[in-house]
Amino acid sequence: MPDQKKRDAPLSLRLSRDERARLERDAAGMSLGAYIKWRLFDPDRPPPRTRGKAPVRDHILLSQLMALLGQSRLSSNVNQLAKAANSGSLPVTPETESELHHACRDLAEIRRMLVQALGLDARDAP
């Protein structure tokens, strides 16, 4: 292995949760190692490339959303509605219409929570 380059020993640093959260926020998508090296050694240069957006910004909100989805019968209900609509047996009563509006509001709220948990801009989200 004479041609292989040896890597330097890693550096370990203990941080409080708040300090780490601040570092991650300030890194804005950069790996923490790249961000710390940039801040220490090249602060006058443009920041290094980012690794992309972190997939989840709010784990608590995402957990709540997943719990709501798990408790709901949304997929089953939508499937039943689709079958009834395709067969022509979906009665369009004021109660059915009200339930459909309620389901649409629930879906809009779930979408809003998901967009927020993922740290996306609602205008850019699909």
pLDDT of 126: 58
95-100 LR contacts (CB < 8 Å, sep 24+): none
Is residue 2 included in any domain, yes or no?
A: no
Domains: count for the chain:
2
For residues 104 and 79, state if they share a domain: yes
For residues 98 and 80, state if they share a domain: yes
The domain containing residue 92 runs over which residues?
A: 59-117
pLDDT of 50: 61
Element (H, E) at 11: none
pLDDT class of 16 with cuts at 50, 70, 90:
very high
Q: What CA–CA distance (Å, rounded) separates 62 from 54? A: 13
Q: In angstroms, what CA-CA distances link 11 with 7, 33, 70, 101?
A: 12, 10, 42, 56
- Lowest mean pLDDT of 13-17, 71-75, 99-103, name the range: 71-75
For residues 45 and 73, state if they share a domain: no
110-113 LR contacts (CB < 8 Å, sep 24+): 110/65, 110/68, 110/69, 113/61, 113/64, 113/65, 113/68
pLDDT class of 14 with cuts at 50, 70, 90:
very high
Higher pLDDT, 122 or 69: 69
Q: Does the global pTM surpass 0.75?
A: no
> Across residues 116-125, what is the average pLDDT?
70
Of the segments 15-19, 67-71, 78-82, 120-124, which one has the largest average pLDDT value? 15-19
Is residue 1 included in any domain, yes or no?
A: no
Mind listing the pLDDT tens digit for each residue in 25-62?
A: 888 778 888 888 888 998 888 877 665 555 667 778 88
